[in-house]
C-alpha cells in the first residue's frame, strides 16, 4: 500500500507563481515569509506528514477512537504524534505572535494544512478546530480570556472545539436551546447537550476549551438571542495551572462512515449542577462571533477536498502503474500492460490530477487574498481583497469538497473491484472525504450563502469584478500559439460567458423568486468553481509556457500545460450545461406536490 508523498513542487509553483508569495511577504507583519523560509517550512512539514502522520492513517482508521466511561482513548500512536506536533511548533504556525504564534501568512499555513489532511485526515481535524477557536477569542474575547487561554491553545498544549448544533436542530441554529444562567460573579452555568462535536473529548491534550452557543434567560428568540461561552474541560487557576473538572462531559461518540480516528462527541453540559462558562464578547452576539470560527473552518474544510483528492490521486497512480491487465488497445498480439496505458484509465487519472491542481490553485489564491485583506497598508486594497475572500469562501468550501468526493470516487474506479476492498486503501479516502461536503454547512448552505449574501445582496458587484479579472486573461491567452492554448482559450472564454450569464440571471431574479433561484444555487456554485478553477489553470499554463520559452527544461512545465488543456476540455466544457440548469431548472424541481413524492 502506497504512502503519502507531499506534492511540494506543485505547492511551490502555486505559491510563487499564482498566489504571489513575493507580494505576500512584503505585507506588514509577513516579512519573514521569504521564499527560502517557506521552502524550509514545506520540507519539514512534508517530513512530518510523510514520516509520522501518514503511517498512522490506516491503523487509526482500523482501530478508531474509543469511548469508555465519559472518556475517549485515541488510536495507538496518535497521542505521541500530537505531542511531537506541538513540540515542533506546528500548532502555532499562523497564529498571532502576541500569543506565542509564529505569524506566518495564511497561504503558507494552507500548504502545511493540506499536508496534514492528505496524510491523516482524522488527525488534522483537531488543530483545525483549535485554530478556529483561537481566531474567535483573538477577535472577540476579553483580555482576561485571552491571557488565560490563548497561549496554551496557540502552543497546542490545550485544544479547542466549536459547539453549535443540538439534537433536532441540525443547521438551524435558531433552534438552539442550551441555557446559560448568570451567577452574579461574571460566570454562567451552562445546561444542555451538543452533538457532532469534533474532538469534544480525547486524551492528546491536558485541557479542552469548548466554545459553546447558549441562551441567557433574557435572550430573544431566534438567532439574535444566542451568546457564546468559553467552557473549559478543566477549570484554570489564577496561576494558569489546571483546577477542578468542569461539568462538561462526553456521553458518547458517533459511529461514522469515515474519519474513524476523529472522535465526534455528544457533549452534556450541566448534568451535575451546571458547567461553568465565561461570556465571549457581548450577550446575544454569539452567532456573529461563532461565524469567525466557521469562516476559518470552512476554508480549512475546503482544503480537505484538495487534500483527500491529492491522496486518492497518488494512490490511484501507483496502482495504475503496478496493475498489469489486458493488452494495449489497438495492438494485436501484444503483451500485457499496466492499466495506466489504457485510454479510459488515463482519462480518469487526468480528471483526478487536473481537478486537484485546480482546487489547490484556487484555495491558495484565496488564502493570499486573505493575507492582503488582513495585512495590507492600503484600506481600499484591504476592502477589495476581503470582498473577494468573502465571495470565494463558499466556492473553496463547497466546490473543492464536492470535487474531493468525485476524485476519491474516481480513485476507487481506477482500482476496479479492488477499489471496493478495504485493503487497497482507496475506499478510506472516499469514506473520509464524504463528510467534508457536510461539515460547517452543507454544499447547499454554501451555495445559498453565495447567491444570497455574497451576490444578490450587493447586486453582484464583487462577482462582476472577478469576471472582469478573468477577462483580462483572455488577451494574454490570445498571444499564445499552439493547439493547447487555442483550446484552453476557447473553453475559458465560453466558460466566462456562461458564468456571467448565470450570475446576471441570479442577481436579477433572486428578489423576484428566491425559490427558483435557490434551485440553481448548487449548480451555480459548481459553475463558478469550474470557471474559477479554469482561470487559475489558464494562468498556470501561461506561466509554464513563459518558463519553457526562457529555456527551462523542467518537465513539470509542459505537464502543467497539458493538465490545463485537459481541464479545459473535460471540465470547462460543463459550463454551458450548468448555466442552463441554473436558469431553467426550477420548474421541474418545484412542480410536484409534496404528497407525490
What is the set of active-site residues? 440
Q: What angle do CA 508, 584, 453 make, to 5 degrees?
A: 40
Look up residue 146 and give its three cell numbers: 485571552
3-state DSSP assignment of residue 182: strand
Phi-psi region of 65 (alpha: psi -120 to 50; beta: other; left: phi over 0): beta
Q: Residue 63 contacts by C-beta under 8 Å, 6 or more apart in sequence? A: 75, 76, 260, 261
For 164-319, where are the E strands, in sequence order? 179-182, 187-198, 207-214, 227-232, 234-236, 242-245, 248-253, 264-269, 275-279
* Residues 2, 426: Cα–Cα separation, whole Å: 10
Residue 189 near residue 215, CB atoms below 8 Å: no
Of 229, 223, 201, the residue nearest 67 (C-alpha) = 201
Cα distance between residue 313 and residue 328, in whole Å: 22
Strands 158-163 and 207-214: parallel
Contacts with 532 (C-beta within 8 Å, 6 or more apart), sequence order: 362, 392, 395, 399, 466, 470
| Residue the block writes with cell 409534496 | 594
| CB contact set of 479 (below 8 Å; sequence gap of 6+) | none
Dist CA 453 CA 260 (whole Å) = 35
Residue with cell 524550509: 40
> Nine-digit cell at 429?
479516502
Amino acid at each position: 500500500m502506497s504512502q503519502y508523498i507531499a506534492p511540494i513542487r506543485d505547492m511551490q509553483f502555486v505559491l510563487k507563481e499564482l498566489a504571489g508569495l513575493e507580494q505576500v511577504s512584503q505585507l506588514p507583519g509577513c516579512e519573514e515569509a521569504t521564499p527560502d523560509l517557506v521552502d524550509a517550512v514545506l520540507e519539514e512539514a512534508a517530513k512530518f506528514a510523510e514520516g509520522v502522520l501518514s503511517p498512522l492513517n490506516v491503523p487509526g482508521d482500523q482501530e478508531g477512537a474509543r469511548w469508555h466511561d465519559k472518556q475517549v482513548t485515541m488510536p495507538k500512536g496518535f497521542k505521541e504524534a500530537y505531542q511531537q506536533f506541538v513540540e515542533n511548533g506546528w500548532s502555532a504556525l499562523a497564529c498571532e505572535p502576541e500569543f506565542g504564534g509564529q505569524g506566518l501568512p495564511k497561504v503558507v499555513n494552507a500548504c502545511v494544512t493540506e499536508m496534514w489532511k492528505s496524510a491523516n485526515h482524522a488527525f488534522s481535524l483537531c488543530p483545525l478546530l483549535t485554530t478556529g477557536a483561537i481566531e474567535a477569542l483573538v477577535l472577540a474575547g476579553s483580555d482576561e480570556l485571552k491571557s488565560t487561554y490563548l497561549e496554551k491553545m496557540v502552543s497546542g498544549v490545550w485544544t479547542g472545539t466549536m459547539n453549535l448544533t443540538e439534537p433536532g436542530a441540525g443547521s438551524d441554529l435558531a433552534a438552539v436551546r442550551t441555557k446559560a444562567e448568570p451567577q452574579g460573579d461574571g460566570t454562567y452555568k451552562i445546561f444542555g447537550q451538543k452533538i457532532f462535536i469534533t474532538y469534544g473529548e480525547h486524551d492528546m491534550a491536558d485541557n479542552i476549551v469548548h466554545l459553546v452557543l447558549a441562551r441567557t434567560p433574557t435572550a430573544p428568540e431566534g438567532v439574535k438571542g444566542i451568546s457564546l461561552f468559553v467552557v473549559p474541560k478543566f477549570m484554570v487557576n489564577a496561576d494558569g495551572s489546571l483546577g477542578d473538572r468542569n461539568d462538561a462531559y462526553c456521553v458518547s461518540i458517533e459511529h461514522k462512515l469515515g474519519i474513524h480516528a476523529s472522535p465526534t462527541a455528544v457533549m452534556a453540559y450541566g448534568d451535575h449542577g451546571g458547567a461553568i462558562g465565561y461570556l465571549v464578547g457581548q450577550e446575544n452576539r454569539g452567532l456573529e462571533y461563532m461565524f469567525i470560527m466557521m469562516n476559518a473552518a470552512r476554508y480549512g474544510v475546503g482544503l480537505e477536498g484538495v487534500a483527500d483528492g491529492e491522496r486518492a490521486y497518488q494512490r490511484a497512480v501507483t496502482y495504475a502503474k503496478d496493475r498489469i491487465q489486458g493488452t494495449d488497445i489497438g495492438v494485436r498480439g501484444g503483451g500485457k500492460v499496466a492499466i495506466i496505458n489504457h485510454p479510459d484509465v488515463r482519462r480518469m487519472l487526468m480528471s483526478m490530477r487536473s481537478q486537484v491542481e485546480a482546487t489547490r490553485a484556487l484555495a491558495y489564491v484565496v488564502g493570499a487574498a486573505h493575507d492582503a485583506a488582513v495585512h495590507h497598508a492600503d484600506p481600499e486594497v484591504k476592502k477589495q481583497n476581503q470582498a473577494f475572500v468573502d465571495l470565494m469562501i463558499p466556492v473553496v468550501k463547497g466546490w473543492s469538497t464536492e470535487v474531493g468526493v468525485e476524485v476519491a470516487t474516481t480513485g476507487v474506479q481506477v482500482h476496479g473491484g479492488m477499489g471496493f476492498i478495504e485493503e487497497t486503501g482507496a475506499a478510506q479516502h472516499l469514506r473520509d472525504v464524504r463528510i467534508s461536503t457536510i461539515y460547517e454547512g452543507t454544499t447547499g448552505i454554501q451555495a445559498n450563502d453565495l447567491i444570497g449574501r455574497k451576490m444578490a445582496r450587493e447586486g453582484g458587484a464583487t462577482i462582476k469584478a472577478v469576471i472582469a479579472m478573468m477577462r483580462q486573461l483572455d488577451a494574454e491567452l490570445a498571444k499564445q500559439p499552439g493547439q493547447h492554448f487555442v483550446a484552453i482559450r476557447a473553453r475559458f472564454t465560453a466558460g466566462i460567458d456562461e458564468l456571467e450569464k448565470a450570475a446576471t440571471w441570479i442577481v436579477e431574479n433572486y428578489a423576484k423568486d428566491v425559490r427558483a433561484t435557490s434551485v440553481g444555487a448548487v449548480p451555480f456554485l459548481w459553475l463558478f468553481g469550474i470557471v474559477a478553477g479554469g482561470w487559475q489553470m489558464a494562468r498556470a499554463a501561461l506561466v509554464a509556457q513563459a518558463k519553457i520559452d526562457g529555456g527551462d527544461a523542467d518537465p513539470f512545465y509542459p505537464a502543467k500545460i497539458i493538465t490545463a488543456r485537459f481541464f479545459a476540455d473535460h471540465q470547462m466544457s460543463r459550463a454551458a450545461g450548468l448555466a442552463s440548469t441554473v436558469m431553467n431548472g426550477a420548474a421541474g424541481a418545484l412542480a410536484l406536490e409534496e404528497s407525490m413524492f
